[in-house]
Amino acid sequence: MNLKKVVVSGLFLAAMGVVAVQMASAQEKMTKEEWQNQITQYTAQRDSLKSVLAQLTKDVDSLKSVLASLTDQVAKVKSETEAMTGASAERHKAFDEALKRLEDWAQQLSLLSDQDLYARKSEVDSLQAQLDGLKQSKLAALPEFYNRIQALQQKIDQLKATLAKPGLMAGMEKTYTVGTWARNRDCLWNISKKKTIYDNPFMWPKIWQGNRDQIKDPDIIHPGQKLKIPVAGPLTDNEKKAEHRYWRKKHAAQQQASAQ
């Protein structure tokens, strides 16, 4: 009885094993139906993707065309704007260089200490004058220059504000009270020559121009006059011009006197 049971059980287990292996094998192997289903599914997916890709390609081509058109329009508007000034490429370049030079100059001045800036204050006026000259050009209306000019003007305004600080001039400008000729030999030349003033007689036009309110003729100053002594530094353009005018006038007067 026991033997019978063992044999039957063994055969049954063997049969089940065969069935299990067969089923696993069937699961790994694709059936024809499954193949057909996948073929159908992937074909549909492929067709759909092809259609999407075709639409995307169309969209991309259309967008490329829009972009090219916009690029042309931008170039056209910019070119029209440039043409409004009627300036040649050379003038455009020269204007750019001139503006760059002023920008560099303003930058240098803005790095100076208040004292050094004060000594070169005439340069701020000169810078402003040259910028005003550039502003007259039609090219100044172009956006690329207009914005730079505005920025430069702001910088010059800052320099002017520094120079206009109430304490600045008071702290740096000296004064000199004119003595008598008999005792002090004071004239603008001699005052300028003094070690405590400029230690350089050729700087006399600086005292003259710094005191235009009280000196009409630089040959005539009066004892007791309190003269402002501008900060030392090279003669400014205005001071040089004033000096030239003075010498021309003097020369003419001498010629007239010798002719009489």
Q: How many residues bind another protein (CB under 8 A)?
A: 54
Read out DSSP for 64-130? HHHHHHHHHHHHHHHHHHHHHTT--HHHHHHHHHHHHHHHHHHHHHHTS-HHHHHHTHHHHHHHHHH
Q: How far is the CB of 64 from another protein (least distance, A)?
A: 6
228 DSSP β-pair partners = 175
Rank residues 35 and 181 by Cβ distance to another protein and give the closer one.
35
Q: Choose among 228, 114, 242, 112: nearest CA to 175.
A: 228
Is position 39 an interface residue for another protein (rule: CB under 8 A)?
yes
Rank residues 16 and 253 by Cβ distance to another protein and give the closer one.
16
Question: Which residues from 48-107 bind another protein, rule CB under 8 A?
Answer: 49-50, 52-53, 56-57, 59-60, 63-64, 66-67, 70-71, 73-74, 77-78, 80-81, 84-85
Rank residues 15 and 253 by Cβ distance to another protein and give the closer one.
15
Asked if residue 216 lies in contact with residue 246, where contact means CB atoms within 8 angstroms, the answer is no
Q: How far is the CB of 34 from another protein (least distance, A)?
A: 8
Which helix (H) or strand (E) segment holds residue 228: the answer is strand 226-229
Q: How far apart are the first and last CA of the chain?
A: 171
Q: How far is the CB of 85 from another protein (least distance, A)?
A: 7
The contact pattern for another protein, residues 125-154, with x = CB under 8 A and - = no contact, is -----------x-x-xxxx--x--------
Length of the chain in terms of residues written: 260
Residue type, 248: R
Asked if residue 134 lies in contact with residue 96, where contact means CB atoms within 8 angstroms, the answer is no
Rank residues 22 and 115 by Cβ distance to another protein and give the closer one.
22
Q: How far is the CB of 65 from another protein (least distance, A)?
A: 10
Q: How far is the CB of 40 from another protein (least distance, A)?
A: 10
Rank residues 60 and 129 by Cβ distance to another protein and give the closer one.
60
Residues whose CB falls within 8 Å of the CB of residue 177, separated by 6 or more in sequence, listed in order = 224, 225, 226, 227
> Which 3 state secondary structure label does DSSP give 176?
strand
Q: How far is the CB of 92 from another protein (least distance, A)?
A: 14
Phi then psi dihedrals of residue 227, to 5 deg: -95, 140
Q: How far is the CB of 95 from another protein (least distance, A)?
A: 14
> Which 3 state secondary structure label does DSSP give 219?
coil
User: Which residue ranges make up the site for another protein (CB under 8 A)?
Assistant: 3-4, 7-8, 11-12, 14-16, 18-19, 22-23, 26, 29-32, 35, 38-39, 42-43, 45-46, 49-50, 52-53, 56-57, 59-60, 63-64, 66-67, 70-71, 73-74, 77-78, 80-81, 84-85, 136, 138, 140-143, 146
